[in-house]
């Protein structure tokens, strides 16, 4: 039966197809710019000769099959079963992904389709995250290690290109504890929290500036050697923690901590702990059971965050989407990916790794069933046409984008560098907004890398003034983008105006005031009643 299945001819997704899918994802939001995108993929490791030689259930039953849906690829599990009447049958389960990599796909194929685009986005100052999910022994750590090795090559090319400033940290999340894998001398756990301005802060986590591929490779090997592992039935060195490698990459010619530089890009390479079902943990002791419970809870929280953030890209029809990224340490560390108000583009790759063997089919079905629903949101957009949001910069025509940029480029009086134009602001003499965004639409302006925007502005306004202006323009633009993402709509798709929001707020305050007055009246009545009862009781005793 398996041999008769029509298997896709290509074992790996091409880099061109991967870029096309990624571009489509970035245009997928129905309420403005898609500021956080998710690629959901599957990889089937090859069956080893030693496994096939054992016979029994050690045969391949997971395939990459053809798919009729555009922009999707299919993974199929063919599970032999015996019916109640004793008739053998094949139970087929198919799952759709953005990319599916068959057993013939190499690590180079995986990196070309998934890793290299993330590195390019990191170079542009964006946030990139890639993580692997699956049962122990499915190839997660093997895949993530290979991706990290190739990231090193991209960061420090051998063609003579001047490398950028790079900073590296590595931590492991083990339940509610977080440990630094690069500095064993630190006794205190790593603390992850939020600053008043919303930034994620880490305490007791070492950061290492690296200037060569060899230096970064040494740190990666140290981190790997210090991760928590334990033997399981399927893997003698199963990862019992989530390993998170964090690479911060500066813009060319700038140091990472340079206050005048555009923000550095961030790339997270995450090797999740192996998932386990209840049947797999029957032989565990209490400590191992607690670890399994913590791993499964964090994986469910990660799934909930991805689903909620995907929903946030759909016009919410007046309903606010809550993304529970504060539920676990791992999702809090990934806050930029999940926070709707994050002021830069984020891209995440979810790679589910599975074994092709029939004996692992229950695990495989569980893994694919976990990952596949993340590819699409579970709720549709409001019925009927939606009202156009004229305040959304992603919808602006070129002329409106130029007008906005020219107006925003005016500096407050105390930052004056040129003559006043008489309206309380100082015009930047010679500043040409058209030259900054020639022929570009609002969407193209929104998707422009922060470093590129800084560079174009500094061509006209050099020095610190240009750096400050670039930062101010970028911040103002992203405030509009985030406002558009969270702007309320009616169930029919119409926008809730500022006047309507103010009226709703006024009515809410009035209702609260009436309720408070009613409670005060009741309290006064109860107090008066208690006084009368006390007086009557005293009179009866006299």
pLDDT, tens digit (0-9, with 9 covering 90-100), for 31-90: 567 788 899 999 999 988 888 888 777 788 888 888 878 778 999 998 888 877 888 888
Strands 62-65 and 200-203: unpaired
- Per-residue pLDDT, 29: 56
Do 168 and 211 share a structural domain? yes
Do 304 and 451 share a structural domain? no
HSE-CB of 160 using CA atoms within 13 angstroms: 0
Taking 60 as the threshold, does the pLDDT of residue 4 lie above it? no
Core vs surface per residue 58-77: b (16+ CB within 10 A) or e = bbbbbbbbebeeeebbbbbb
Residue 471 domain flag: yes
- Mean pLDDT score of the chain, rounded to an integer? 81
For residue 55, what are the domain limits? Answer: 14-374
Length of the chain (residues): 542
Task: Determine the average pLDDT of the residues in 477-495.
Answer: 82
pLDDT digit string, tens, across residues 265-308:
999 999 998 775 554 555 556 666 677 778 888 888 999 999 88
Residue 387 domain flag: no
Do 89 and 113 share a structural domain? yes
Taking 90 as the threshold, does the pLDDT of residue 117 lie above it? yes
Taking 50 as the threshold, does the pLDDT of residue 490 lie above it? yes
Residue 427 phi, psi (nearest 5): -75, 145
Do 326 and 457 share a structural domain? no
Do 403 and 351 share a structural domain? no
Taking 60 as the threshold, does the pLDDT of residue 230 lie above it? no
Helices first, then strands: H and E counts in the chain: 16, 18
Q: Provide the CATH number for the domain around residue 148.
A: 3.40.850.10
- Per-residue pLDDT, 219: 95
Task: Determine the average pLDDT of the residues in 213-234.
Answer: 79
Task: Report d(CA 431, CA 411) in Å as an integer.
Answer: 12
CA separation (Å) from 234 to 51, 121, 138, 171, 355?
Answer: 12, 36, 9, 25, 11
Do 397 and 268 share a structural domain? no
Do 410 and 329 share a structural domain? no
Do 420 and 333 share a structural domain? no
Residue 351 phi, psi (nearest 5): -115, 110
Do 451 and 357 share a structural domain? no
Quick one: tokens of 81?
Answer: 């079963």
The model carries a pTM of: 0.81
Residue 496 domain flag: no
Residue 492 domain flag: no
CA separation (Å) from 258 to 250, 262, 475?
Answer: 9, 8, 18
Task: Report d(CA 69, CA 491) in Å as an integer.
Answer: 29
Task: Determine the average pLDDT of the residues in 2-11.
Answer: 41
Higher pLDDT, 498 or 479: 479
Taking 60 as the threshold, does the pLDDT of residue 416 lie above it? no
Residues marked as binding for ATP? Answer: 134-141
| Percent of the chain's residues with pLDDT above 90 | 38
Closest by CA position to 363, among listed 298, 281, 241, 244:
281
In this prediction, residue 132 has a pLDDT band, given cuts at 50, 70 and 90, of very high
Do 350 and 217 share a structural domain? yes
Core vs surface per residue 189-224: b (16+ CB within 10 A) or e = bbebeeeeeeeeebebbbebebeebebbbebbeebb
Flag the least confident range among 121-130, 281-290, 477-486: 281-290
Do 310 and 182 share a structural domain? yes
3-class DSSP string for 445-504: HHHCCHHHHHHHHHCCCCHHHHHHHHHHHHHHHHHHHHHHHHCCECCCCCECCHHHHHHH
Contacts of 376 (CB under 8 A, 6+ apart): 310
In this prediction, residue 13 has a pLDDT band, given cuts at 50, 70 and 90, of low
Residue 218 domain flag: yes
Strands 36-44 and 346-354: parallel
Do 158 and 23 share a structural domain? yes
Residue 228 domain flag: yes
In this prediction, residue 149 has a pLDDT band, given cuts at 50, 70 and 90, of very high
Residue 518 domain flag: yes
Q: Which DSSP letter does residue 279 get?
A: G
Task: Report d(CA 50, CA 188) in Å as an integer.
Answer: 44
Q: How many domains does the chain have?
A: 3
Residues marked as binding? Answer: 134-141
- Per-residue pLDDT, 248: 96
Residue 31 phi, psi (nearest 5): -135, 65
| Radius of gyration over every alpha carbon of the chain, rounded to an integer in angstroms | 28
Residue 230 domain flag: yes
- Per-residue pLDDT, 498: 80
Beta strand spans in 310-449 (E): 346-354, 411-412, 425-426
Higher pLDDT, 497 or 156: 156
């Amino acid at each position: 039966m398996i041999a008769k299945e029509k298997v896709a001819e290509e074992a790996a997704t091409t880099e061109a197809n991967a870029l096309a899918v990624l571009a489509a994802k970035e245009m997928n939001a129905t309420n403005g710019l898609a500021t956080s995108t998710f690629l959901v993929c599957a990889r089937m490791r090859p069956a080893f000769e030693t496994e096939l030689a054992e016979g029994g259930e050690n045969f391949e039953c997971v395939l990459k099959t053809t798919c009729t849906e555009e922009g999707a690829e299919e993974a199929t599990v063919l599970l032999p079963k015996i019916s109640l009447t004793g008739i053998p049958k094949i139970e087929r389960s198919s799952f759709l992904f953005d990319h599916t990599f068959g057993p013939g796909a190499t690590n180079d194929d995986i990196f070309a389709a998934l890793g290299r685009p993330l590195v390019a986005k990191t170079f542009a100052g964006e946030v990139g995250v890639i993580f692997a999910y699956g049962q122990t022994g499915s190839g997660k750590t093997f895949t993530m290690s290979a991706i990290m090795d190739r990231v090193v090559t991209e960061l420090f090319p051998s063609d003579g290109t001047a490398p950028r400033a790079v900073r590296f940290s590595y931590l492991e999340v083990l339940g509610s504890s977080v440990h630094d894998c690069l500095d064993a001398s630190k006794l205190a756990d790593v603390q992850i929290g939020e600053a008043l301005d919303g930034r994620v802060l880490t305490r007791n986590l070492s950061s290492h500036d690296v200037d060569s591929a060899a230096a970064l490779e040494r740190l990666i090997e140290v981190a790997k050697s210090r991760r928590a592992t334990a033997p399981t039935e399927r893997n003698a060195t199963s990862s019992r923690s989530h390993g998170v490698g964090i690479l911060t990459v500066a813009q060319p010619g700038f140091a990472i901590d340079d206050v005048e530089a555009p923000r550095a890009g961030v790339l997270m390479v995450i090797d999740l702990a192996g998932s386990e079902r209840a049947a797999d943990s029957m032989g565990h002791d209490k400590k191992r059971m607690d670890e399994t419970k913590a791993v499964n809870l964090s994986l469910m929280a990660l799934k909930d965050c991805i689903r909620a953030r995907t929903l946030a890209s759909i016009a919410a029809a007046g309903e606010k989407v809550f993304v529970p990224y504060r539920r676990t340490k791992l999702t809090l560390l990934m806050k930029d990916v999940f926070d709707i108000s994050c002021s830069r583009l984020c891209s995440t790759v979810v790679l589910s790794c599975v074994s092709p063997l029939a004996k692992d089919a229950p695990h495989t079905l569980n893994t694919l069933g976990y990952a596949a629903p993340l590819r699409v949101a579970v709720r549709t957009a409001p019925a009927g046409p939606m009202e156009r949001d004229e305040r959304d910069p992603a919808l602006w025509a070129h002329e409106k984008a130029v007008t906005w940029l020219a107006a925003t480029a005016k500096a407050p009086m105390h930052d004056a560098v040129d003559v006043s134009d008489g309206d309380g602001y100082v015009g930047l003499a010679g500043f040409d907004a058209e030259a900054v965004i020639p022929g570009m639409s609002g969407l193209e302006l929104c998707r422009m890398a922060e470093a590129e925007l800084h560079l174009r502005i500094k061509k006209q306004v050099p020095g610190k003034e240009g750096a400050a202006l670039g930062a101010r323009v970028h911040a103002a633009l992203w405030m509009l983008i985030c406002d558009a993402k969270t702007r309320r709509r009616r169930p029919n798709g119409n926008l809730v105006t500022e006047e309507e929001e103010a009226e709703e707020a006024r009515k809410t305050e009035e209702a609260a005031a009436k309720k408070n007055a009613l409670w005060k009246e009741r309290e006064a009545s109860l107090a008066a009643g208690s006084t009368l009862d006390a007086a009557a009781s005293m009179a009866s005793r006299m």
